[in-house]
Amino acid sequence: MPACSSPSRRRARPRAALLTGVLGSVAALLVTGAGPAVAAPPSPDKPIRSGQAWMGAGTRIEQGPASGADGGLTAMDTSGVQGIDVSHWQGAINWGSVKAAGIDFAYMKATEGTSFKDSSFNANYTNSYHAGLIRGAYHFARPNVSNGATQANYFASNGGGWSRDGRTLPGVLDIEHNPYGAMCYGLSTTQMRTWVNDFYTAYKARTSRDVVIYTTASWWNTCTGNWTGMSAKSPLWVAHWGTASPFVPSGFPTWTIWQYTATGRVSGVSGDVDRNKFNGSMTRLQALANNTA
């Protein structure tokens, strides 16, 4: 993939005001909506507390504005099989309304590092299932605090497991720009490759499933050194906003899930939410859940 020269930036999370232009700004401290008021996440120029990260908390080099609606780049791609990803930052969610709005799958944060559990995971995981969505869990990686196998086992023991019920997707390794410090968590490309492979191996031993990798082309190409070692093992969930076609990290043939905006709107969720598209039909999504893909 060709390198992109867009400047680095960090997005504001759901419940904060929409980003305006490439620089963006945070205009609210509290967000209200369905359920009780929820404190807005930290603004882009302030550090977040350990354990409070989410999908996309890190800097994105290749991204422009968080959505086509903000930057006028492209319309959001709401065709095909649609999903969302959430964490405690979304507060209370009406999953029945989410399903009625045409959302077929959802991932929710379960764990981070070796000791943090998302406070909304149990409610999101259970209620999305009962509303009829296909759902799964993700782990926010902290390669600087332990080896990959330790975090994979922590994830598998705290929400990241899998069962062949037709409604549970394989777990996700969310590995991206470090929102707490150095982009690559202080690891060399060789060390990072080992870390990712150890996470994959331990997770598969625990669950029998290949872990899905969520990342950006910029992070993966930089921090793993354009590694091709996971392309035949893990489905790719690529994050790239405000574009008609996402950049795919080196070595991966294509994307399985594409996070195309950070400022989507869905009935049943207050404020902004990440929107995602599955690369295939509903039958193929069910096959991924059943491990028959």
Whether residue 277 contacts residue 77, with contact meaning beta carbons closer than 8 Å, is answered with: yes
**Residue count (the chain):** 293
Which 3 state secondary structure label does DSSP give 89?
helix
Closest CA to 223 of 149, 107, 141, 108: 141
176 classed as catalytic: yes
Residue indicated by tokens 């379960």: 110
Instruction: List the catalytic residue out of 62, 112, 118, 176.
Output: 176
Distance CA 251, CA 11 (A): 27
Residue 174 annotated among the catalytic residues of the structure = yes
CB 256 within 8 A of CB 236: yes
25, 87 Cβ separation under 8 angstroms: no
- Distance from CA of residue 8 to its chain's centroid? 18
Q: Which of 104, 112, 174, 272 is catalytic?
A: 174
Catalytic residue among 62, 70, 77, 85: 85
Would you name the residues annotated as active-site residues? 85, 174, 176
